[in-house]
Structure 1
């Protein structure tokens, strides 16, 4: 490369990303922050990977895959939203009322319900397919 090209690149302003691409970068950063901030998100990913591996081995149909992915997505979304709630509460706890603890507990219960539902749906889908294959 000639020195003129190098000098021209250094003088150029950084290229702004399109909005859709910046959103993907923000999502990836959010996942990274979420996994580092709380071990429950890591555990959820671990269990989700196991469920997906079971589903792949059992060769689920397209509809079964859709239901499984939807259930895992709802559980993941609930966990990420709970982390947002906890971060906001930690950031503004000195400005908010004493009902903040109840709000955190309410968010935690919503996540537990979402995770239980996700687990039950995944178990039903995987068990039904395993039952068909093994002729139980």
Structure 2
């Protein structure tokens, strides 16, 4: 009987932690931007919705994210240490001589903002590379 109670308690705690992470994602906003003199892209993801702006004077196009893609985003997001985001360094420095647009990832969670320093668009830091590539893929759809 104790074993059964322990097993049920473990399952209950595990599912409550899982649902807590999911509810955190509903209030989390991820914003990726890439800017240079001739380029402006802004991708905002929040609660299974994506808003894409391609150009400085254009309206944002909003659409729903399908469940499979949302699960990928949640999986990659869960691997990221939010506290380390401001210290990430890009692998290249082409943005210093107009060789690449300046990319930036900003995550807002629980009224706290975590923002990367600028990095080359297309060459994000390894720690956030998969998440950034998932966000960029919305501009290709």
On whether the aligned pair clears a TM of 0.5, the verdict is no
- Structure number with the higher strand fraction is 2
**Higher relative contact order, structure no. (Cα contacts within 8 Å, ≥ 6 residues apart):** 1
TM-score interval, normalised by the smaller of the two chains: 0.3 to 0.5
If you compute each CA radius of gyration, which structure gives the higher value, 1 or 2? 1
- Structure number with the higher helix fraction is 1
